[in-house]
Amino acid sequence: MGVIPFVFEGKALDKQKINRVDNRKEKRQTKKDSKRKKNKAYNKKCEENRNKGLNRKQVRDVKKDKNLVRDLLGIINSYFPGLIHSFKETKDGRNKRYIKYSIDVILVVRVLSAILSFDSQRSMTNGLNSDNAIKNIAAFLRKDDLDELPHGDTINDCFKKMDPKEMEKFICQMIVRLLRRNTFNSSRINGDWQILVDATEFFRSSSRHCDHCLFSRHKGNDGEIIRISYYHHVLEAKLVLNGNMVFSIQSEFIANEEPIPSDEVLWSPEYSEPSKDKTKQDCETKAFYRLADKLKTAFPNLPICISTDALYPSKGMFETCKRLGWHFIMRFKDGVIPALARQFRYQTKKHPERSACDIGGDNARLEYIFATDLAYEGFTINAVELKDSGVKHPFWFITDYPVSTYSCKRIAEHGRRRWKIENEGFKRQKKHGYHLTHMFCKDFTAMKVHYFLIQIAHAISQLWERSIDMKTLRYTIKGLHEELRTIFQTSSLTVMDIDYAHMRKRVRLVRDHAA
């Protein structure tokens, strides 16, 4: 009789279980690999199509189907519903017996003239003097009885009697609408909204504009006064969204409260003597503290990260941010706070491991060095230095955010966004269609109203421009606005266009667009 081998059933079952588990894992991995290959092939095909682009006939056909005026009205109603209607609530200082155009007509005409890139009140008056332009503005306002538009002088007379704070109210309402959209949540820094602060000049002349102008006396090599400049500055706080759009959130005009000395006094050599009592002028630093309080009052619960240039790092600035509960990322230079600079150099030499490297978009080498827990006047500050092989000088930033090998890259990236207020903000408004430095009116109150309406127009334009695939359609920003102006003057919106523009729909923004 043969011996029957003993088999332990438990081990056999375990082997079967292991085999089944391995089979399931292998099947899942096969599905993942297959899906990955399909996605890779799909992405490659999409990339080839994007790079290939459209031929000229295809571009013409796509442009025929687009209605830029309708799209502009659709963007306003999508992002800022009720904005045009709320213009009616603006306090009007004019005598009601002599009013021909309501306040909402005047404000909409001025906002659209900025979007359409009219460089003066005269060119606006002539450029909008067409039946189609009148019909389009009537469609924006939903007014059937509008048969004429106000003259540029009529608009200025109205602005002289207005309170510029009324325009700030609309800007705050627009910002609230943008912040409440989930579309821009990725723009945050550790949950905070980044706000850039800087000053810009919007008026300069060799002759006195008003008693509250800022002034500067220019001397020659012999010490004699050769000229006097009069100018107005404004300190601007701009909200960064999507990394490449900046929206005015608060403004503070820099102007002397007391009347400045007469021209005779300013030209006299005695005014240069040290013993002479000088007029203490308003400045950017003083204006910042006023701006900070206004911003906190307007948005008391908004988590904010302030970004500035190297003019601002100081004890007063740190105290203000701490008092208001804000974080900061500021540009820094050696001579600003020497004690901080010395601590940074000492710590980075002692701890060379506190560094990181990366490759930028243009294959530039990025080297990061950081230091933590630097002490200054009772504040604990961290610092990051970035050396970009594509830029001659290094960038240096200080912050109250925690800094590590990973986060130092993010701090430097957000710190470099400070240039957005210059390039996407002031430069666009001065040189590319909005004519910020043009004197639309000599009255200072009217100048402020014009300034705020330009900010509203710029906010709308940024969203409208990024709702259009400008790269595919081969538009430049200048060319896009010129075509909008042509269409605005030569064709009018239909009833179907107006209904479509007021429909609720999802608007997808393009991050990269033509320059």
Give the helix/strand (H/E) hosting 388: strand 379-388
CA distance 467 to 76: 12
pLDDT digits (tens, 9 = 90+) for 294-307: 999 999 999 999 99
Q: Distances from the Cα of 256 to the Cαs of 178, 210, 230, 278, 279, in angstroms?
A: 34, 10, 12, 13, 9
CATH number of 181-270+281-427: 3.90.350.10
* Residue 302: CA count within 13 A, CB half-sphere: 23
How confident is the prediction for the chain on average, in pLDDT?
89
pLDDT of residue 52: 58
pLDDT per position as a tens digit, 336-361? 999 999 999 999 999 999 999 988 87
- Mean pLDDT on 95-116: 95
Q: What is the C-alpha to C-alpha distance for residues 359 and 474, in angstroms, rounded to an integer?
A: 30
> Which phi and psi angles does 346 have, rounded to 5°?
-65, -45
Long-range contacts of 241-244 (CB under 8 A, 24+ apart): 241/178, 241/184, 241/187, 242/184, 242/186, 242/187, 242/466, 242/509, 242/511, 243/187, 243/417, 243/511, 244/420, 244/424, 244/511
Q: What is the mean pLDDT of residues 34-44?
A: 75
pLDDT band at 509, cuts 50/70/90? confident
Kindly indicate the confidence band of residue 12, based on its pLDDT and cuts at 50, 70 and 90.
low
Using CA atoms, how far apart are residues 212 and 254, in angstroms rounded to an integer?
9
C-beta atoms surrounding 129 within 10 Å: 13
If pLDDT is split at 50, 70 and 90, which confidence band does 55 have? low
**How far is it, in rounded angstroms, from Cα 107 to Cα 352?**
58
Alpha helices in 351-474 (DSSP H): 407-416, 420, 428-431, 444-466, 470-473
State the DSSP code for 189. Answer: B
Task: Give the span between the Cα atoms of 72 and 381, in whole angstroms.
Answer: 45
User: Cα 90 from chain centroid?
Assistant: 25
Which amino acid, 130?
S
> What CA–CA distance (Å, rounded) separates 501 from 73?
6
Task: Report d(CA 38, CA 125) in Å as an integer.
Answer: 57
pLDDT at 428: 93
SS3 66: coil
CA distance 302 to 237: 14
Alpha carbons within 13 angstroms on the beta-carbon side of residue 141 total: 25
Whether the Cβ atoms of residue 329 and residue 436 lie closer than 8 Å to each other:
no
For the cut 90, the answer to whether the pLDDT of residue 15 exceeds it is no
Helical (H) or strand (E) element with 138: helix 131-141
- Confidence at residue 107, expressed as pLDDT on a 0 to 100 scale: 97
CA distance 228 to 266: 8
Q: For 249-276, what is the mean pLDDT?
A: 89
According to the model, what pLDDT value does residue 391 have? 87
Contact 384, 403 (CB under 8 A): yes
For residue 69, pLDDT beyond 90: yes
What is the mean pLDDT of the segment spanning 147-151?
95
Beta bridge partners of residue 368, listed in sequence order:
356, 386
- Cα–Cα distance measured from residue 189 to residue 327, given in angstroms and rounded to the nearest whole number: 10
Q: Contact 422/198 with Cβ under 8 angstroms? A: yes
Average pLDDT of span 26-36: 80
Of these ranges, 214-223, 246-255, 389-398, the one predicted with the greatest mean pLDDT is 246-255
CA 377, chain centre distance (Å) = 33
User: How would residue 46 be classed by pLDDT, with cut points 50, 70 and 90?
Assistant: low
Q: Note whether 266 and 215 are within 8 A (CB).
A: yes
Rounded distance between C-alpha atoms, residue 312 and residue 359, angstroms: 30
Handedness of CA 499, 502, 506, 508 (dihedral sign): positive
Q: Which pLDDT score, from 0 to 100, does residue 515 have? A: 41
CB of 504 closer than 8 Å to CB of 72: no
- Tens-digit pLDDT profile for residues 281-334: 999 999 999 999 999 999 999 999 999 999 999 999 999 999 999 999 999 998
3-state SS of the chain: helix, strand, coil percent to 5?
Answer: 50, 15, 30
Q: Which tokens hold the place of 478?
A: 């200048």
Average pLDDT rounded to a whole number, residues 206-232: 91
Tell me the CA end-to-end span of the chain in Å, nearest whole number: 94
How high is the pLDDT of residue 54? Answer: 65
What distance in Å separates the CA atoms of residue 316 and residue 361, rounded to the nearest whole number? 37
- Per domain, the residue ranges of the chain are 60-165+442-502, 181-270+281-427
- pLDDT score, position 332: 94
**Average pLDDT of 79-84?**
93
**CB–CB of 344/354 below 8 Å?**
no
Tens digits of per-residue pLDDT, 456-492?
999 999 999 999 888 888 888 999 999 999 999 999 9
Per cent of the chain over pLDDT 90 is 68
Give the closest residue to 231 by CA, choosing from 269, 199, 186.
199
Whole-angstrom CA distances from 310 to 197, 336, 415 are 11, 7, 11
- The answer to whether 225 and 267 are in contact (CB under 8 A) is yes
Phi first, then psi: give them for residue 293, nearest 5 degrees: -65, -40
Contacts of residue 334, defined as CB under 8 A and 6 or more positions apart, other chains included, come to 341
Q: Phi/psi of residue 173, each to 5°?
A: -65, -40
Where do we find the tokens 């080839």? 48
pTM of the predicted model, to two decimals? Answer: 0.86
